Structure 1
Amino acid sequence: MEDRSVYSTHVPAGNKASLRETGHESHVPSAEVLEAIENVILDVFKSLAQNRAPVLTVARRSDWRNIEDIYYSDILLFGSQSVVDNIINDISCMLRIPRRSLHVLSTTKGFVAGNLSYTEEDGTKVNCTCSATAVTVPSNVQGIKNLISHAKFMLIVEKDATFQRLLDDDFCNKLSPCIMITGRGIPDLNTRLLVRKLWDSFQIPIFTLMDADPHGVEIMCIYKYGSVSMSFEAHHLTVPSIKWLGLLPSDLQRLNIRRDALIPFTKRDQNKLASIQKRPYIACQPTWKKELEIMEASKLKAEIQVLTSLSSDYLSRVYLPNKLQFGGWV
């Protein structure tokens, strides 16, 4: 699944496109970036000098085995944002350097809240203390510093509505201090980078709260194993220790959720689940495999909101506290 984000980079003054300069910190030194680009150009010149057609070799980035505002400057040329996404990914893969090393960042859509404070690259101090409003994930995650947190765990929430409900219930402080993050569906690059940076900084448990459906499982796999379109950069963007806290297919049986509150599978759901079950990392996760088999056998799915059929505050008052206290994750 691909990020549907708008990318931006620095261009000379006077250019008609509305673009912005990104931060300067990156994983790869600028000299190495320039050398990678120069090597590609040099190969092209060598081919032309020998009267041969130049060839650009791009590694196959859409391969699961790899995992253990440019668009608006010329809409007619690119046609769609996905074309820009693929071009940027191909260039990054060809040069074997992260996209951010090319000073190309995507817009942010994720939110973070809870026991966390940090300083942005420009010196702005940010306090994510849990309240009714969350903080937007920074656009230059690599540039933030002075991260401070006393959180005992992180909770990645699939949906914005569930994230906001937990904020309203003051979940971050009631049980124990924690950090909550949502990518509001399929996570953008910055949200994934932030999850990894927080893991590197604090080494605390990370749990996911997703819908009990193939789409929710797919999103969770992006955080844990990476997306197929960004598989070549998975080691910078993933946290393999992430745990599946809920909503588990087995929870639906255990909690006696009414059948009429569940949603029948569509053909698309069946195809998505079958695709996930074939991925090599699922074979290494027997407990996940079992949960997916339960989902496959029932051919039913459920949103997190189904827990409100038990009580309006069941999620924050009963479900999550019990799961976290008694180890109800896989």
Structure 2
Amino acid sequence: MTEQFSEVGKLRAVLLQNLETVGETVTSYTEDIARLDVLTRIEKVIQKIVHSLSKREAPVLELNTRSCWSNTRFDKSVGLLMSSDTTVTTIRSDCPSSVHKFALFLKVLAMIYKLVQTDSYATKRDMYYNDPQLFGTQRNLDLIVDDISCMLRVPRRSLHVLATSKGFISGDLCYLEADGTRVECSSSSAAVPVSSNVSGITSIVSSAKFVLVVEKDATFQRLLDDEFCTRLHPCVIITGKGVPDVNSRLMVRKLWDTLHIPVFALVDADPHGIEIMCVYKYGSMSMAFEAPSLAIPCILWMGLLPSDIERLEVPQDALIPFTKSDESKLISLRKRPYISCQPAWEREMDIMLTCKQKAEIQCLASIAPHFLTRVYLPNKLLYGGWI
């Protein structure tokens, strides 16, 4: 059997031994902030502005910079965290280049304060259309909401701001939405959209033995079409359709916290796929302040592995040559703080860098039409002892 399969088998024992311990380590970080506390934090920001005005000084807002790796630190049991000693971005009310942004922050803070105070919720889309001319673009509003979340040290869900989900989920799973709606995910032919209020989900019931996180929607749909969840019952599959949104990450994390079962990643054998897996496992730089409630530290890289390409003798015409951008991305990934604690990943990345080739999961279809669902995944799960 291959070295990778042997590693999966060994990891299984280690993972099961530590799964509950790691879960307990992180749980203390994941509780939502109480409404009164959120209101108090917003009021302190406003009080500081009023105090500046009373002294005839121009008010400023200070935000932790979310676009710099130096502002993050790595904890292997949690993921990427925002460093306590971070650089700060200042938004001044007396500077022509930032006065509009300052006004937008106050506008959004006022909207959030009202939502929390009245115990109501709104999507980011709803907030944007409250005054689209003022915000300019949806992205402007989205960035401000995330900045406010970071500034207040409050998860976005505690700000009562929701986002429309782009992910889908299927398998042996049912639960209740916040409004009491019962959601059944066991249909073999259709997937369920990930909830826009994951924190409101309760009464999760599942006999699943594992969760499979799928990078691409096309691969996810292929698994559905081949009735993967029925063939390898019981399990749950979920996709964030590329770079995952917060709700998809929250959903995977909630399943891991609740069910205490292994989580596997199925991504393309390319730098982009590896980075997406790292976002699920360790969090992202821009959302490092929320990593404790989003990251899944025990996630395992099931495939597609660069070593699988040669082992399975994938036809050359199904592979894609590396570009300079791919090579730069891979070299950049190698320098990230969490890669050094994953020697198996380093070996796979070395193979990719040496061969200068990448492959999409769909390349397995060049071996046989149903190779992914009937041979590749079942064998990896079977040899690892997961089914």
- Which TM bucket (shorter chain)? 0.7 to 0.9
Deviations 1:147-173 (A, max 9, x none): 000000000011111111111211112
Between the two proteins, what is the percent identity of the paired residues?
Answer: 59
Aligned pairs (5 A) from 1:1-330: 27-64=32-69, 65-66=72-73, 67=80, 69=125, 70-327=127-384
The 1:303/1:127 distance shift into structure 2, 3 A limit, reads: same
Q: Secondary structure at the match of 1:156?
A: strand
Measure the CA separation in 1 of the matches of 2:317 and 2:132. Answer: 46
Measure the CA separation in 1 of the matches of 2:350 and 2:138. Answer: 36
Measure the CA separation in 1 of the matches of 2:201 and 2:240. Answer: 19
Measure the CA separation in 2 of the matches of 1:74 and 1:306. Answer: 46
Q: TM-score, normalised by structure 2?
A: 0.75
Q: Secondary structure at the match of 2:40?
A: helix
CA contact (8 A) 2:188 2:230 kept: no
Measure the CA separation in 1 of the matches of 2:385 and 2:278. Answer: 19
Deviations 1:97-149 (A, max 9, x none): 01111111111111110000101111111111141101111111111111000
Measure the CA separation in 1 of the matches of 2:261 and 2:246. Answer: 21
Q: Secondary structure at the match of 1:181?
A: strand
CA contact (8 A) 1:295 1:301 kept: yes
Measured after TM superposition, the shift of residue 73 of structure 1 is 4.0
- Unaligned runs of at least 5 residues, structure 1: 1-25
Measure the CA separation in 2 of the matches of 1:63 and 1:290. Answer: 27
Q: How many residues align?
A: 304
Amino acid corresponding to residue 43 of structure 1 in structure 2:
K
The 1:154/1:270 distance shift into structure 2, 3 A limit, reads: same
Measured after TM superposition, the shift of residue 29 of structure 1 is 0.8
Amino acid corresponding to residue 165 of structure 2 in structure 1:
T
Q: Secondary structure at the match of 2:256?
A: helix
CA contact (8 A) 1:152 1:204 kept: yes
Q: Secondary structure at the match of 2:64?
A: coil
- Unaligned runs of at least 5 residues, structure 2: 1-30, 74-79, 82-124
Amino acid corresponding to residue 195 of structure 2 in structure 1:
P
Amino acid corresponding to residue 102 of structure 1 in structure 2:
L
CA contact (8 A) 2:172 2:233 kept: no
CA contact (8 A) 1:245 1:328 kept: no
Amino acid corresponding to residue 227 of structure 2 in structure 1:
D
The 1:80/1:214 distance shift into structure 2, 3 A limit, reads: farther
Q: TM-score, normalised by structure 1?
A: 0.88
Measure the CA separation in 2 of the matches of 1:176 and 1:62. Answer: 41
Measured after TM superposition, the shift of residue 75 of structure 1 is 4.0
Measure the CA separation in 2 of the matches of 1:292 and 1:258. Answer: 20
Amino acid corresponding to residue 317 of structure 1 in structure 2:
R
Measure the CA separation in 1 of the matches of 2:360 and 2:270. Answer: 8
Q: CA RMSD in A?
A: 1.7
